[in-house]
Amino acid sequence: MKTLSIREVVGAVQGKYSCSEFDILIKGVSTDSRTIREDELFVPLVGPNFNGHDFIREALEKGAVAVLCDESKKMKVEGLPEKKIIFVDNTQLALLRLAAYYRSLFDLPFIAVTGSVGKTTTKEMIAAILKTRFKVLKTPGNLNNEIGLPLTIFQLDEGYDIGVVEMGMSGFGEIRRLANVVKPRVAVITNIGISHIEKLGSKENIARAKMEILEPLTKEDIAVLNADSKELWSEREKVITKTVFFGRERGDIRAKNIVSKNDGIKFDIYGRYGEMTFKISLPGIHNVSNALAAIAVGFEMGLTREEIQMGLKNLKLPEMRLQFKKSFFGAEIIDDAYNASPDSMKAALDLLFQRGQGKKKAAVLGDMLELGSFSEKAHFEIGEYAAKRADKIIAIGNFSESIKEGALEGKIDPTCVYTFPTVKMALSEVINLVEDCDIILVKASRGMKLEQITQLLVGRS
């Protein structure tokens, strides 16, 4: 991080400084008192199960050079020997303001990625492509919220040429706030699904929330949008910036001649950038759409076909995202337990079916969260879908019975579908249920912590 003065920080967060000492320099920003280092600013955040203000003393003792504090939490700093406190209306908002100020110190382009499904994979693809020519700052993992994104921004220094960040949301206004921090030159929306429909109520509202990412763009900037998502395609005349639509059915850049094998996918693109062939090392036909978005960004940033292909070849995804592992009893495991939505669940089941041709297949499926009133129907449909693609289904969570009902509707053998209300209960039985299988998919929303199942199967529990 580039060093900031305490005056800069006070001004950026619109705060009130409690100390007369202004020769303080800040060399980092932390929201975690356990890992804070000397000369860093501590930003205490408030969550449903914690209050970072309770750890201000600890942060100062560990070397924090200054701290933020909510005006309403003043009592938390009474009696502290070092009064290097900056009082603000809201520490979360102050963190965003500080990140926006810090971002403004650097004249480099950012690519921002959002979408219901595939945003982390697409972000990783874009970063891998751009790394063939540039020094790239990217969001680590999926730290894509109002805490993770600012902390990514604070990693900027003069050594970077370009940034690639991911933006997540659960309601209106969140992506707008993140986009106003980043001020992207290129904005990518991977697709519109029904993740977060619990809060937003419809796919049209989800599209509206996702399209907040376009608001800071000027006419000279670029929006890369999924033409196969009708909610985005229908808005094409309203987008003021330059657009590149990608898709398998329509768009400025499209794919054809798709050949899917266990070691990846080969396909041709045609349209705006001409006709040429690409290969990605990821399995799953759904990743063609992610690759089209990344390829479009690569061309728009001036890269050659050879550089783009090299980037795709070098791609490595974070843990628990379409990783292939071996169980201790010899079965192949598709570990895709980081997140789940109806669209990504179906894509993973398609991969299980394709990769498991001629093999005995098991699908270990946990709850898809944040679907609200759509939950029972969505899980029923996944069960019905899975019945055509797996020989055994192990359903875990509050909606495991809905998955089972759907699987039975899909005509699976009733003796081949099992339900468990909790992961803990499944752990005691799952090995016996899948040890006669050759390939096993493990898939659920992150909150289900289904990685415990994978760890057990590979022998690391």
Q: What is the mean pLDDT of residues 155-159?
A: 95
The rounded mean pLDDT for the chain is: 93
- pLDDT for 301 equals 97
Residue 320, pLDDT score: 63
User: Mean per-residue pLDDT for 247-267?
Assistant: 91
Q: Which two tokens stand for residue 261?
A: 């094998």
Percent of the chain with pLDDT over 90: 78
The predicted structure's pLDDT at residue 83 = 73
β-bridge partners, 114: 189
The predicted model gives 71-99 an average pLDDT of 89
Residue 461 has pLDDT above 60, yes or no: no
- Who has greater pLDDT, 321 or 219? 219
Are 455 and 429 a contacting pair, CB within 8 Å? no
Element (H, E) at 423: helix 423-427
H-run or E-run covering 280: strand 276-280
Q: How far is CA 88 from CA 7, 70, 130, 430, in A?
A: 14, 5, 38, 50
Q: Which is nearest to 117 in space by CA: 346, 312, 281?
A: 346
- Give mean pLDDT, residues 448-460: 91
Is pLDDT at 365 greater than 80 in this prediction?
yes
How sure is the predictor about 460, in pLDDT bands with cuts at 50, 70 and 90? Answer: low
Higher pLDDT, residue 78 or 268: 268
- For residues 87-101, b (16+ Cβ closer than 10 Å) or e, as one string? bbebbbebbbbbbbb
Q: Which residue has the higher pLDDT, 343 or 434?
A: 434
Write down the H helix ranges in 105-226: 119-130, 148-153, 174-182, 197-200, 203-210
pTM for this one? 0.86
pLDDT in tens, 305-327: 999 999 999 988 777 677 889 99
Residue 373 confidence (pLDDT) above 90? no
Domains detected in the chain: 4-89 (3.40.1390.10), 106-313 (3.40.1190.10), 323-458 (3.90.190.20)
* Confidence label for 205 from pLDDT (cuts 50, 70 and 90): very high
